[in-house]
Amino acid sequence: MSSSPPIALLGTGLLGSAIGQRLLQRGLGLRVWNRHPERLQPLVALGAEACATAAEAVQPCRWVIAVLADGPACREVLLSAENLRWQGQRVVQMGTIAPETSRELAVALQRQGAAYLEAPVLGSRPEALTGTLQIMVAGDEQLFQEALPLLLALGPNPEWFGAIGSALDTKLALNQLIASLTHAFSLSLQLVQAAGVNVEQFMAVLRGSALHAPTFEKKLPRLLADDYRHPNFPTAHLRKDLLLFLASARQHGLDTMGLRCLADLLERARDTPLDQLDYSALHRLTGPVPPPADPAPPAAAPRSG
């Protein structure tokens, strides 16, 4: 294990746990915290030190990586955690949150004594485990240069995008494509299957065209098997990110009418088992809509007399 100061990891969900595993594999010391302590055990088994509170995890560390669920969780943990005192630590926030929330965090953390970078990633658990995440960074450029040795453990080419918010706007733009491409492919596949067209013939034409995208090949087996278990990126996260994109796009005066219907479709998965499945489970939402029930016949008029 490295003799350098350990790194604090706040949040050990699907992505956070993979980031932690990668850092441990690189010989870095790691102090880990999660609001659900049982989720720390896989990393503890690999050599991480479990901490009962975020403050305990952060206190002896220079670098803090936050991979928390959403903006409210970031505010709660980074700004309001009990006994948490910032003393010059560098916070690298890697979750997907609203750009405006990230700017608020940067200002608030600076006032409390910490430096801040946003560093959302393209990729999920497999890429984190192999150190091939695409990392987009925004914030102070000098701080980015200081963070590079740590970021290079997670991705081969971390890229600085400029002021706080710019990396997250880029991330949201990319995740909007995940949602839109998956939805478009699902609808097309639903149509050819409903029409009795041979799926492999359809795919052969698609592969030979400019319309083809690698994500279609990646998700096709799941869609054909209707098997969305073992997600790296669940439906609930896709919906969250799409709603964040819509909010940011509206702030910039963009017309989001066409995309709002996809958000409405994904709302149908909220609080259902689909939310925890792979996001390509939206294929279940694009299938044939049951016809409306026949209206009840009008009640017979009462007989007089």
Q: Provide the CATH topology of domain 7-164.
A: Rossmann fold (3.40.50)
Q: Is the pLDDT of residue 294 over 70?
A: no
Domain with CATH 3.40.50.720 in the chain: 7-164
* Mean pLDDT along residues 47-76: 98
**248 CB contacts (<8 Å, ≥6 apart)?**
98, 99, 100, 169, 172
Query: What's the pLDDT at 300?
Result: 56
Q: Is the pLDDT of residue 1 over 50?
A: no
Distance CA 159, CA 91 (A): 17
The pLDDT tens digits of the residues spanning 13-61 come to 999 999 999 999 999 999 999 999 999 999 999 999 999 999 999 999 9
Distance CA 280, CA 154 (A): 26
Domain with CATH 1.10.1040.10 in the chain: 168-284
- Which of the 8 DSSP states describes residue 296? P
CATH 1.10.1040.10 assigned to 168-284? yes
The rounded percent of the chain whose pLDDT value lies above 90 is 92
Print burial letters for 44-65: b (CB count within 10 Å at least 16), e (below 16): eeeebbbbeebbbbbbebebbb
Of 133, 143, 137, residue with least CA distance to 19:
133
The pLDDT tens digits of the residues spanning 171-187 come to 999 999 999 999 999 99
Q: Which two tokens stand for residue 126?
A: 């497999």
The pLDDT tens digits of the residues spanning 89-105 come to 999 999 999 999 999 99
Query: What's the pLDDT at 224?
Result: 98
The pLDDT tens digits of the residues spanning 210-245 come to 999 999 999 999 999 999 999 999 999 999 999 999
Paired sense of beta strands 115-118 and 134-139, if any = antiparallel
Q: Is the pLDDT of residue 297 over 70?
A: no
Helix axes 99-112, 235-251, angle to 10 degrees: 90
Q: In the structure, what pLDDT confidence band is assigned to residue 293 with cuts at 50, 70 and 90?
A: low
